[in-house]
Structure formats: C-alpha cells, structure tokens
Amino acid sequence: MALDELYREVILDHYRNPRNRQPLGAPGAHADGHNPLCGDEISLDILVVDDTVTEVSIVGRGCSISQSSASMMSEAIKGKTRAEIAELTGRFKAMMDIDTEGDAGLDPDRPGSVLGDLEALQGVRKFPVRIKCANLAWTTLEEALGEAK
C-alpha cells in the first residue's frame, strides 16, 4: 500500500487549514455527522437559496481523511445547484466505491476537472477501513440538503 498516495500534500493542507469554518451569515440548514467507531465528528451548516448552496460552514474533529474531505467538499459545493451537487456526490461516492472499476468516478473527458482537489482522495479506496472517514462529510451533506427542503 502506497502511503504517499494516501497522504497527498493537498490532503494535509486541507487537514491543517480547513476551509469554510466561519459561521453562516444567516440561519441555514444544519446536520451533524459522526462516526462512532473512530469518533470523527462533523458539524455542517448550509444556506440554500433558489436551489443553490450559497454558503457553507463546516467544522469538525477527526482524522486527516475525514477532515480534509469535509474541507474540500465545502469548497466544491459552494455556488452549486442541488442537481450539480447530487452529481458531484455521486461521482465522489463512486470514486470511493471499492467495487467501481478503474477511475469510473472521475470525468472521463477532462480528468481532474469535476472533483478538483477531491481527487486527491482517490488513494483512500486502497485503504477500505478509511472509506467511511472520507464519506462522512458527504453523508452529512445529504442530510443537511434534506433539512433545507
């Protein structure tokens, strides 16, 4: 197992300098995520205006994978519509799915362009016990989007 495929620089950067930690400007939808096995925690607030996520606030505690995934997700979803986010979530989860062949989660035409930094998390798939960590923010996001209805 190649550890340097897991602990990419971008991941460590997001882990140490998580983005979008500031509280929302206006009350939005909230969801908490937590992984009882390892204690990773995520608290997510989003503001949805006309079907578009206009603001994201995300804070948490946990391992580099869960926290960097949360930070990168917060950047990736800002300004996106629900439909775009659903697509993004689908791609991310496919990227994390051990059963997906090759890079099926990634955009075949312009690799790297859809998930952006998030693609750095590809390596997690080789470490099955850590997939849950990477997915935590995304599962929490689905809950928050449900709240925002």
The site for other proteins (CB under 8 A) is made up of: 1, 3-4, 6-7, 12, 16, 37-41, 61-65, 127, 129-130, 133
Closest CA to 70 of 11, 30, 111, 129: 11
CA 75, CA 117: separation in Å to the nearest integer? Answer: 9
Smallest separation, CB 129 to other proteins (Å): 8
The smaller minimum CB distance to other proteins, of residues 28 and 62, is found at 62
The smaller minimum CB distance to other proteins, of residues 79 and 128, is found at 128
The smaller minimum CB distance to other proteins, of residues 36 and 108, is found at 36
Amino acid in position 14: H
3-class SS at 52? Answer: strand
Smallest separation, CB 7 to other proteins (Å): 5
8 Å CB contact between 69 and 137: yes
Smallest separation, CB 64 to other proteins (Å): 5
Smallest separation, CB 3 to other proteins (Å): 5
Smallest separation, CB 18 to other proteins (Å): 12
The smaller minimum CB distance to other proteins, of residues 6 and 76, is found at 6
Backbone φ and ψ of 58, nearest 5°:
-140, 125
**Structure token pair of residue 98:** 């051990």
Strand order in the sheet with 40-49: 29-35, 40-49, 52-61
The smaller minimum CB distance to other proteins, of residues 64 and 139, is found at 64
Give the helix, strand, coil percentages of the chain, each rounded to 5. 50, 20, 35
